[in-house]
Amino acid sequence: MVEVSVILPSDPLFPRRVDPHFAWEAGAVRAVGGDHALLDHDALLAGDVESAVRRIPAGPGPLWYRGWMIPTARYAELAEALAARGRPLLTGPDAYATAHELPGWYRTFESVTPASSWLPGTDWDRQALAAAAAELGGRGPAVVKDYVKSRKHEWAEACYVPDLADLDALERVVSRFAELQGEFLAGGLVLRRFEPFVRAADGRAEEARVWWLDGEPVLVGPHPDSPANRVEPDLTEVRPLVRQLGCRFVTTDLARLPGPNSADGPGRWRVVEVGDGQVSELPSGVDVEALFRTLLKA
């Protein structure tokens, strides 16, 4: 029987060690009887894929990646290099792009996620922004992000647009967002309709992250930004959509809308983000060993 292994990023300063951020995941892999190898993430991003994979033994045996986000083009290069070594990634390049970037998953989840429009590339003039805003009705609040991430920690200056009808404000927020993202801007620009999710006492949205393998939830926990806010999402609407997406290992971030009547409590669960499970952050305090035990049996 060919065994599944996990690759993790190496420490940039001590390349024979796992990156300290992922050391606890390496420990979990070992605890469930698994094996891990090291990927030079910096070399991969620099385009030196052969150096990036030099510490990954040749096959046979498929691999899961767990680590920092990888641009889709670099991921395709990584997949090709590993396949040549007899170590195919269990998430192929197309599946990775589908789950990792909003345009890949949005149509599947359109009924349960905030309305969105997007502009590829980095050349967005006022006319293009107005057209993207018009797709969302041309007015009302929205958030700005790229295909993968937002700048939610710079909420007022680089994320939130109070009214899409104010094109000056939209241009200002988009410009600042692009400036802060710099070379890390992924894919293009996304406008997302702002939805007022239920918030916990600390002011953060009550958000859950669900990890799915082959269409089944294998781990449900809090969002990594608020590990103390634990909620149990209703997966009734989301489960068939995850299966429809057709990607083996994905995450969904879920939050609730307020109920139509405050006395009724919170309302429907909404999909805030979808992600590839290999590059989604794990929150502290969850049973990560159970996740890796399941992955290594896949």
H or E element in which residue 129 lies: helix 126-135
Region 94-104: mean pLDDT is: 98
| pLDDT at residue 265 greater than cutoff 60 | no
| pLDDT at residue 268 greater than cutoff 80 | yes
Q: In what order do the strands lie in the sheet with 249-258?
A: 216-222, 207-213, 249-258, 266-276
Q: Are 292 and 249 in contact (CB under 8 A)?
A: no
pTM exceeding 0.85: yes
pLDDT at position 192 is: 98
Catalogue the E-assigned strands of the chain. Answer: 5-9, 36-39, 63-65, 116-120, 142-146, 160-161, 188-193, 207-213, 216-222, 249-258, 266-276
Average of per-residue pLDDT values in the chain = 94
Which residues, at least 6 apart from 221, have a Cβ–Cβ distance to it below 8 Å? 208, 209, 211, 227, 230, 282, 283, 285, 286
**Peptide bond before 60: cis, by omega within 30 degrees of 0?**
yes
